[in-house]
């Protein structure tokens, strides 16, 4: 049986990490959850926060990113969700 794993990882100036959001039998369920997570995060930031060259999406991945201008330096903030398929018994 094939399952679809929704993986989220992030890298900010303060913290980095990753997590498995869920494992789904149907890819559309994983895609729906991925879009929901990304939209919830996007709502926490101003619309113009996301940099075009650091933000993109396709059916199975969403990347959101921008540069923080902290203390005279530039630090990238990146959030990513991806769906991968895996065979299980």
**Cβ distance 27 to 33 under 8 Å?**
no
Q: Which domain holds residue 39?
A: 2-87
Domain count, the chain: 1
- Nearest Cα residue to 72 out of 2, 13, 6: 13
80: its two tokens: 């990513």
Residue where the block lists tokens 């890298």 = 11
How many whole angstroms separate alpha carbon 57 and alpha carbon 71? 30
Q: Could you state, in chain order, the average pLDDT of each consecutive group of 10 residues for the chain (89 residues)?
A: 97 92 98 97 89 90 84 77 96
pLDDT at 12: 86
How many whole angstroms separate alpha carbon 45 and alpha carbon 39? 10
pTM of the model: 0.87
């Amino acid at each position: 049986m094939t399952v679809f794993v929704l993986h989220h990882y992030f890298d900010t100036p303060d913290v980095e990490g990753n997590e498995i959001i869920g494992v789904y039998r149907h890819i559309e369920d994983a895609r729906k959850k991925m879009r929901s997570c990304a939209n919830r995060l996007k709502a926490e930031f101003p619309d113009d926060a996301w940099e075009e060259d650091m933000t993109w999406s396709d059916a199975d991945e969403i990347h959101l990113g921008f540069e923080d201008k902290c203390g005279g330096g530039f630090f990238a903030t990146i959030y990513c969700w991806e769906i991968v398929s895996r065979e299980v018994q």
